[in-house]
Structure 1
Amino acid sequence: MSLLIGKHIHSVLTSDDDVKGLVKGRVFPLVIPEGTDRPFVVFNDINVVGEYTKDGWIGDTTQVTVMCVADKYESAADLAENVRITLEQSKKHYDSYTIGGGELKKSADAYENGVYVIVLNFEFETF
C-alpha cells in the first residue's frame, strides 16, 4: 500500500491551509507543467522497501523527495518549513493501510536556473 504514498502526499499538502496559502494548489508529482508560477512543490523519487519477518510482510519504509521552489530564498524557506510540519503531522488511516507521519531525514538547498530550491527527504512508515 506504500505505493499510494504519492496520493497521500498530494492530498495532505493541497489541503493544508498554510501550504495552500503559499502555493495555491501548485503541488505536483514528478512533472512541473510548463509555465507554472512559483512558488510550488514537486515530489518524486518515491522508494518503497518492504519489511518482512518469517511470518510475512509487516509494513514498508517509504522514502520521498519533496522540493520547494520559489523566486526568493525566504519564500522557499517558509514553504519548506510549512511542508515539513505538514508531512511530519500527516498520520492517516485509509481503508486498507495506515501511513505514519513523515520524518525529515535530510535537507539541502540550491540555486538553479534563477530559482531557489529546498530539497526535503522524508521517510514514512506504512502498514
Structure 2
Amino acid sequence: MSLSIGVHIYEKLTSSASLKELVGDKIFPVSTQQATTFPFILYKRNSLVPNVTKDRYATGDNVEVEIVVADSNYMRSVTIAEKVRSLIDRKSGEYKTFSVVDAGLISTDESFAEDTFIQRLTFSFETEPNI
C-alpha cells in the first residue's frame, strides 16, 4: 500500500496551477528517463518502515520521500522548492489502498553541480491501510 506514496506526491504537485506555470509537466518519479530542460522536479521513496504494535500487527507505515528541484537559476529553484513544500507539508490524502494521515518536512539541503542548482526536501509520511 504505502509503496504507492508516489501517487500522493504526484497528485499534490500536479494539482497546482502555479507550480505548473513554473515547471510545466516536468515532474518525474526517480529519474527523468530522458533528457529534459530546466526546471524539473524528481521524487523518490527513501525508506518505508512498518508501524507494528506489540502483537506484531501492522497499523500503517512511516515513509520517507525525497523531492529534488533542479534548475539553472538559483532563485527560481528556491521559489519552486517553497511551492513544493507548501503543497506537501501537513497535507493528507485518501487513495484506493492507503491514506496519508500526516506529512512533515524533516530536512532540506541545497547544492550546485554541473551548472545545476539543486534543492532537496525530505518529507516523512504516516500512512494507514484502507481496508
**What TM-score does the superposition give when structure 1 sets the normalisation length?**
0.92
> Any gaps of 5 or more consecutive residues in structure 2?
none
Counterpart for residue 3 of structure 1 = 3
1:42 and 1:101 map into 2 onto residues whose CA distance is 21
Question: What is the DSSP-based 3-state SS (H/G/I as helix, E as strand, rest coil) of the residue aligned with 1:102?
Answer: strand
Does 2:78 align with 1:84?
no
Distance change in 2, residues 1:86/1:101 (3 Å)? farther
Give the 4+ runs in structure 1 shifted more than 6 A: none
Q: Cα RMSD (Å) of the superposition?
A: 1.4
1:11 and 1:36 map into 2 onto residues whose CA distance is 21
Question: What is the DSSP-based 3-state SS (H/G/I as helix, E as strand, rest coil) of the residue aligned with 1:80?
Answer: helix
> Any gaps of 5 or more consecutive residues in structure 1?
none
1:24 and 1:2 map into 2 onto residues whose CA distance is 27
- 1:35 deviates by 2.4
Query: One-letter code of the match for 1:39?
Result: P
Counterpart for residue 120 of structure 1 = 121
Aligned residues: 127
Query: In percent, how many aligned pairs have the same letter?
Result: 29
Which string of whole-angstrom CA distances, capped at 9 and with x for unpartnered residues, describes residues 29-63 of structure 1?
11113320111100124311001103411111000
Query: One-letter code of the match for 1:30?
Result: V
Q: How does 1:43-82 map to 2 (within 5 A)?
A: 43-55=43-55, 56-82=57-83
Query: One-letter code of the match for 2:34?
Result: E
**What TM-score does the superposition give when structure 2 sets the normalisation length?**
0.90
1:20 and 1:100 map into 2 onto residues whose CA distance is 25
Query: One-letter code of the match for 1:92?
Result: G
2:97 and 2:42 map into 1 onto residues whose CA distance is 26
CA contact (8 A) 2:102 2:127 kept: no
Query: One-letter code of the match for 1:11?
Result: E
Counterpart for residue 12 of structure 1 = 12
Question: What is the DSSP-based 3-state SS (H/G/I as helix, E as strand, rest coil) of the residue aligned with 1:35?
Answer: coil
2:97 and 2:109 map into 1 onto residues whose CA distance is 34
Which string of whole-angstrom CA distances, capped at 9 and with x for unpartnered residues, describes residues 10-35 of structure 1?
12211222211111010001111332
